[in-house]
Each structure stands twice: as structure tokens, then as C-alpha cells.
């Protein structure tokens, strides 16, 4: 069965610092991988996705993620965090049909 | 592109009443729509998948007679919570996908906060 683990429930970074949010997945075949961001009381916005090809994926708002098959990971990164990035981030794995979400990581940005 | 709306954004109702939530794809045809439920400080749990013109497929443990889903057109799906009770209070989010926006990618609505008194 598919599963997604986001080991960090909360992360706090200083504005301007770099960010890495971890995501590990369990899936039998090559997965479809996604990162979504959710602001309080809002729906989910797609940041980026990986289906195949180049393992380093660029997304919106300056985010990128790297697919590492050997580590079953799809970590999200941003070189310089802005205060507006404070939100909850969800990693998800799909099979082309359903999505399975991780528990989410809440990002706090301190000035 | 790929915008999904939900209405209402929040609703408060009395126990025993029914509530309908609409999910619309505004700029694409959604051949498939999904309904999720999100508990406070929790992740999203898929409730059901609906394909346009077909009956919805419910996840295990979701009461199909309680959560009625209709997907009668390529731009609209509705979720009706029948005889709502306080334990149905939650944040309900829909998503949609379609062939012209990437069949493998779901685009999410802003969610509906349901409070049952």
C-alpha cells in the first residue's frame, strides 16, 4: 500500500534562511509525487510535481524538489525563505488516480 | 488556469439537517472529482471519487448514504451531508482533474468549513 511520511511536524526557520522539508514514500512502482501548500483555512495549492525524467523539479514560488529513488525521498527545498512561505506543506504520492497524503509539515518563519 | 471553487466557504447548521456543498471547475472540464475531509491538525482523507455521469466510488468506512455525491456535469460536483451531526463537523475539500490540465494532477478547491450544532 502507498504511504507517505513527513517526519517533521513543525519546522521554524529564519527569514532568508534555506529550507528543506523531508518526504519519504512507500510505493511499489514509480510514483507520481507532489508537493502542495495550504494556508490556514484554505485549500491546497500545487507547488510542483514529479512524474518522470529529470529528478530535480522546479516549482512555483522558488521551490524545488529532488526525487531520489534509492532513498524513496522527495524533499522540498527553497534557498531563501520569505515570511509569506509560512504555511503547512503536504507531500503526496499518487498512482495516476488516487492521492495519498503525508501528515503535513507546518513551517514557521521568524523575522 | 485549473481553478476550482467551492461554495459555501463555511456553513453552520443544526443537527439533523442536510447540507449541500458545491465544487466547480471554473476553467476546465473535470472528468474526475474527489472529495476529502480534513480534521483539525490532520492530513486529508479521501472520502470518494466521482467520475462525470457515474456513481461515486467511496473509500472504506465512508457511509455513502450519509455523504451523497453527484457529478452530473463536467464542471460541477456536489456533496450532500444528510442528517448532519456534530461529529460531521469538519473541513471538506474537493479536487478536480481533467484531460486538458493534466489527467494525473489534482487541483484543489478552497474548502468548506462545516459546523454542525
Could you give the residue ranges of the DSSP H alpha helices within chain A?
none
Chain A CB contacts of B113 under 8 Å are 41
- The conformational region for residue B101 under phi > 0 = left, psi -120 to 50 = alpha, else beta, is alpha
Please write the tens of the pLDDT for every residue from A3-44.
Answer: 999 999 999 999 999 999 999 999 877 789 999 999 988 889
Q: What is the pLDDT of residue A31?
A: 87
Q: What is the pLDDT of residue B103?
A: 75
| DSSP bridge pairs for A15 | none
Please write the tens of the pLDDT for every residue from A47-103.
Answer: 999 998 899 999 999 999 999 999 999 999 999 999 999 999 999 998 878 899 999
Q: Are A46 and B105 an interchain contact pair (Cβ–Cβ within 8 Å)?
A: yes
Nearest beta carbon to residue A46 from set B6, B107, B109: B107
Chain B CB contacts of A99 under 8 Å are 34, 46, 106
Nearest to A39 by CA among A83, A93, A101: A83
Taking the C-alpha atoms of residue B41 and residue B19, their distance in angstroms, rounded to an integer, is 24
The DSSP 8-state label assigned to residue B112 in this structure reads: E
Taking the C-alpha atoms of residue B22 and residue B80, their distance in angstroms, rounded to an integer, is 9
Chain B CB contacts of A41 under 8 Å are 91, 111, 113
CA distances from B48 to A12, A98, A106, B29, B92 (A): 35, 10, 26, 19, 12
Residue B1 banded pLDDT, cuts 50, 70, 90? confident
Preferred mutation among B2, B25, B44, B91 to probe A, highest tally of A CBs within 10 A: B44
Amino acid at each position: 500500500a502507498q504511504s507517505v511520511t513527513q517526519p517533521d511536524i513543525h519546522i521554524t526557520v529564519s527569514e532568508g534562511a534555506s529550507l528543506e522539508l523531508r518526504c519519504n514514500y512507500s510505493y511499489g512502482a514509480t510514483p507520481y509525487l507532489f508537493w502542495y501548500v495550504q494556508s490556514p483555512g484554505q485549500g491546497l495549492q500545487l507547488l510542483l510535481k514529479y512524474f518522470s525524467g529529470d529528478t530535480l523539479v522546479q516549482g512555483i514560488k522558488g521551490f524545488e524538489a529532488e526525487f531520489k529513488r534509492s532513498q524513496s525521498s522527495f524533499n522540498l527545498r527553497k534557498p531563501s525563505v520569505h515570511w509569506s512561505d509560512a504555511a503547512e506543506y503536504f507531500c503526496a504520492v499518487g498512482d495516476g488516480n488516487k492521492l495519498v497524503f503525508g501528515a503535513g509539515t507546518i513551517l514557521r518563519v521568524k523575522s | 488556469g485549473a481553478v476550482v471553487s467551492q461554495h459555501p466557504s463555511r456553513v453552520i447548521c443544526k443537527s439533523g439537517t442536510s447540507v449541500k456543498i458545491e465544487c466547480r471547475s471554473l476553467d476546465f472540464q473535470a472528468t474526475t472529482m474527489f472529495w476529502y475531509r480534513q480534521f483539525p491538525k490532520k492530513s486529508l482523507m479521501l472520502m470518494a471519487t466521482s467520475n462525470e455521469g457515474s456513481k461515486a466510488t467511496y473509500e472504506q468506512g465512508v457511509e455513502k448514504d450519509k455523504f451523497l455525491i453527484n457529478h452530473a456535469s463536467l464542471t460541477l460536483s456536489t456533496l450532500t451531508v444528510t442528517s448532519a451531526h456534530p461529529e460531521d463537523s469538519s473541513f471538506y475539500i474537493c479536487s478536480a482533474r481533467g484531460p486538458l490540465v493534466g489527467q494525473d494532477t489534482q487541483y484543489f478547491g478552497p474548502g468548506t468549513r462545516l459546523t454542525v450544532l
